[in-house]
Amino acid sequence: MFELERQRILESSLWEPRNGCLGYLEACSCVDIEGNTLSPHCRSGYLQDAEVDDWSSQKGQFASRTPASIRVLMCERVGWVPLGFAMSKRSFLSVEGAFGLPPEALPILNLNRGQEYYNATFNSGDNSQSMSSIALTIKLPQLFQLGNLGLSLTHCFQTGKTLAFIHGWHVFANENHVTGEPVIPHAGRIQELIQPTHSLWTHPLLLPVILLQEHLFRAYLRNSELWRIVQSIEKNLGVTRSGPLVMAEFGVTNEMKQIIAKEEDRIRLTAILNTAAADISGVIRVLKWDQQYTRFPHRVKDRIDKYHGQGPLSVCSELASAIEFLDSHVSSAEDFAGSMRSRLDLQLNVLYNLIAHASADLNLRIASMAGLDSAAMKTLTFVTIAFLPATFIAVSSFSA
């Protein structure tokens, strides 16, 4: 079903290897090849494009490494349109084959909207219809302030190993490609989130849950930035004691006087307010998708429990708790963004009234000037009536 679209995107995508934009992350098991017990740990590093084939197939310099429960290749997204990868097409095909990535991976990574999809493989000739592996692909909705990460993974239930590919903006880049502002790269954050969850390393839903957790972290940062903008707008429009400003004593500020008096200041503040409202609407849109996405791990988990059986109770409980917490976190973030939009609606009404007041004041001054003009016309008319006949008589007499 996806093969034709996959082939089209494979040919139309931009494949441009870049240094520092391609790397790996591995969560290593507690037992090495020789059976020695080890402490769970993560290892990560950058890869050259020429090293991807050896790393994905665990050969050459990567052949003797400690087995890993999770192996992730992370790739920076290049450009906007077409879909771009900081790696060669040959390297991607090598990873796709070695990891067994599903054909829907490229079509879903190419989307701007959010999308999740999974398919399972069952053991052939097994009357119990037990699940042998599962593939999951998730694309977060596009919003450049939050990132546009995509994840495609395969998990083998027999070995308990997960092989994954992560792609998107700011995976390694520490500068926002739109605004030029500094950002925290996703790669380091994802490693920090994986490190303490070693009890879940053998579960296929760990990475999808971490992906949502990372997305919510960005949404929290963006909400904080927008809240500072909302506070600044409220201050300029005369909010003196309300909410976080309850301890402040601003009074009628000079900024508010200038907004009433100067059209340029009103236009500038209107632009700031409308931009903030649009940004908040974008965040709310993304958070609504996140809210729906929290049901996806539940559906997949129910399917796994049905055809593969439940895992250890402690693992199931920890995973369920993490999903429920994220669900609550999404609701809280969405409510906060909604409250900011409501406050901006109020300030938009205030600004509209200020503009109406300024327009009324201008009309009053025009009317006053018109009144002065009327008085001047009356005076001119009186002078004309008083002196024009005499002037006419004088001119007529002189002519005679």
Residues 112 and 119 sit within 8 Å (Cβ to Cβ): no
Mean pLDDT, contiguous 10-residue spans, the chain (400 residues): 91 95 90 62 94 94 86 94 95 96 96 93 72 94 88 94 96 87 93 92 94 94 93 77 49 61 77 91 94 93 82 79 91 94 86 67 60 59 59 50
Give the pTM.
0.83
In the 8-state DSSP scheme, what is residue 25? E
- Tokens, residue 162: 């997960």
For 40, the 3-state DSSP assignment is coil
Residue 252: its pLDDT value, please? 54
Residue 246: its pLDDT value, please? 45
| Distances 378 to 367, 368, 385 between C-alpha atoms, Å | 16, 15, 10
- HSE-CB of 225 using CA atoms within 13 angstroms: 16
- Tokens, residue 60: 């050459």
Residue 31: its pLDDT value, please? 58
Residue 385: its pLDDT value, please? 63
Residue 79: its pLDDT value, please? 82
Residue 381: its pLDDT value, please? 62
Residue 32: its pLDDT value, please? 55
Residue 145: its pLDDT value, please? 84
